[in-house]
Amino acid sequence: MGSLANNLTNMIASLPAIIVAITFHEVAHGYAAEAMGDDTAARARRLSLNPLKHIDPLGLLSMILFRFGWAKPVPINPNNFKDRRKGVLLVSLAGCGTNLILAFISLAVITVVQGFATPLLNQILYSFYIYNLIFGIFNLLPIPPLDGSHVLEQFLPPRARMVYNQYARYGMFLLILMLWTGMIGGIIWPAINIADRFYKFLLAPLTGWF
């Protein structure tokens, strides 16, 4: 019974965090695209914080059960960008950057309220922190179709970019293989630990105030 109760508590704590992380990530892509001249997401009514517009039910369930999932991608047309290269870079980094900012805000709130918050509230806030941190760093990996792959593509010479795009179709299989073998964890957790220490260093002055 104890294990079941703990699992249920973890699900309750993690669900809002996952939904918010996904929603803000996708909306950030849309607003960045609009800022660069592409209104495709706006016309598709995807510049909304309504989670139902961004959540893929199967992807959300997979995220809860297996810690790996997906959302409905915001439609983007790079041909509409005022500057294609800058547009792709900005759009690709916007989602990850938003998640990393949300992670920092979540940790700041945790630092302020941890002395008097209930255990469930602390767990919910920590879920907001860790999921946004994971989303932000994981999506920076240069493996198609993750955001980091689009960033890397912009810095490749034409011939290398052509080869890279030819193999992009196999990116999802590579991603699943790396997740299954634990390679992804070996890559992102050291980065997450570094980000965690950096955030806590920045927030150290708050510790003495509360």
Which tokens in the block code for residue 158? 């034409």
Active site residue 26: yes
Cα 207 from Cα 129, distance rounded (Å): 17
Say if residues 95 and 147 touch (Cβ distance below 8 Å): yes
Whether the CB-CB separation of 66 and 55 falls below 8 Å is answered with no
Q: Which of 14, 18, 26, 147 is catalytic?
A: 26
For residue 18, CA distances in Å to 38, 48, 60, 64, 203 come to 27, 17, 8, 8, 24
Cα–Cα distance for residue pair 210/207, rounded to 1 Å: 6
- Point out the residues that are catalytic: 26
